[in-house]
C-alpha cells in the first residue's frame, strides 16, 4: 500500500506513544513519521474484502474462533502498522480484544501490494511483522497474480492457476489464487 508522509499544519511531530493512544484512520507510524496509507483502488478493496470474508468464513465454519480485521492498528517492535487484513486468535482476542491497538503483530497478516510499492519496503514490513510476534504474512501482488507467504522458516510463492494455503496459522485454509484476485 502506497504511503505518504503527513505534514502537520503546526509542524508538531506525533510520537509513537501518541499514535498508539489514538491512531488516525488509514495511517502508520514508521521511523518517526506519520504515514498516510493511500492508493486504495476498487481492485485493492475487492481483494481485501474477499480475503477478509474467506478467512472469517473459514474460522466460523471450522470452529477455529478468533477475529478477522481490516486496516487495524498494531504495534511492531519499533513502529505502528495497519495490515490490510489480519487474523487474531481466540486467546489474543480474550487478552487484547478491547485495546485500541494490538501491542504486537497479528499472528496472520496480509498486505495487498501496489505497483508503486518498493520491494525492499514490502519485504522489510513482512520481516517486521514476523519479528514482532507474527507467524505468517501474505504479500499479495494483484497485478502479477502472485501471493508470497512468508513465515519464520520459509517463503513460498503461489501464482495464477494454483491454490494458496495457510502455512502456520488457520491450518487447512486454502483459496484459489484466481478466485481471490479475480
Q: 147-166, pLDDT tens digit by residue?
A: 999 999 999 999 999 999 99
Neighbours of 61 (CB within 10 A): 8
User: What pLDDT shows up at residue 38?
Assistant: 83
- Domain residue limits, the chain: 40-181
Name the β-bridge partners of 87: 68, 108
Which whole number is the average pLDDT over 93-98? 97
User: What pLDDT shows up at residue 9?
Assistant: 41
Q: Is the confidence at residue 8, as pLDDT, over 80?
A: no
Q: What is the percentage of the chain residues whose pLDDT exceeds 90?
A: 84
Neighbours of 52 (CB within 10 A): 19
CATH topology classification for 40-181: tt1808, chain A (3.90.1570)
Which whole number is the average pLDDT over 6-25? 74
Decide: 134 and 109 in contact? Cβ < 8 Å. yes
E strand spans, 44-167: 67-70, 74-75, 80-81, 85-88, 108-112, 136-141, 146-151, 155-159, 163-165
pTM of the model: 0.91
Q: How far apart are CA 43 and CA 154, in angstroms?
A: 28
Amino acid at each position: 500500500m502506497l504511503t505518504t508522509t503527513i505534514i502537520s499544519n503546526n509542524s508538531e511531530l506525533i510520537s509513537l506513544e501518541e499514535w498508539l493512544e489514538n491512531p488516525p484512520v488509514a495511517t502508520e507510524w514508521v521511523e518517526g513519521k506519520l504515514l498516510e496509507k493511500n492508493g486504495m483502488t476498487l481492485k485493492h478493496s475487492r481483494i481485501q474484502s474477499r480475503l477478509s470474508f474467506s478467512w472469517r468464513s473459514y474460522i466460523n465454519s471450522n470452529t477455529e474462533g478468533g477475529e478477522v480485521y481490516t486496516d487495524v492498528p498494531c504495534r511492531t517492535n519499533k513502529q505502528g502498522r495497519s495490515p490490510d487484513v489480519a487474523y487474531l486468535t481466540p486467546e489474543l482476542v480474550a487478552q487484547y480484544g478491547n485495546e485500541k491497538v494490538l501491542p504486537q503483530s497479528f499472528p496472520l497478516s496480509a498486505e495487498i501490494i501496489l505497483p508503486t510499492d518498493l520491494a525492499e519496503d514490502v519485504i522489510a514490513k513482512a520481516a517486521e511483522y514476523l519479528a514482532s510476534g507474527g507467524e505468517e504474512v501474505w504479500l499479495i501482488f494483484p497485478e502479477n497474480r502472485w501471493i508470497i507467504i512468508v513465515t519464520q522458516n520459509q517463503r513460498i510463492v503461489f501464482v495464477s492457476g494454483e491454490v494458496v494455503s495457510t502455512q502456520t496459522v488457520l491450518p487447512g485454509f486454502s483459496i484459489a489464487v484466481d478466485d481471490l484476485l479475480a
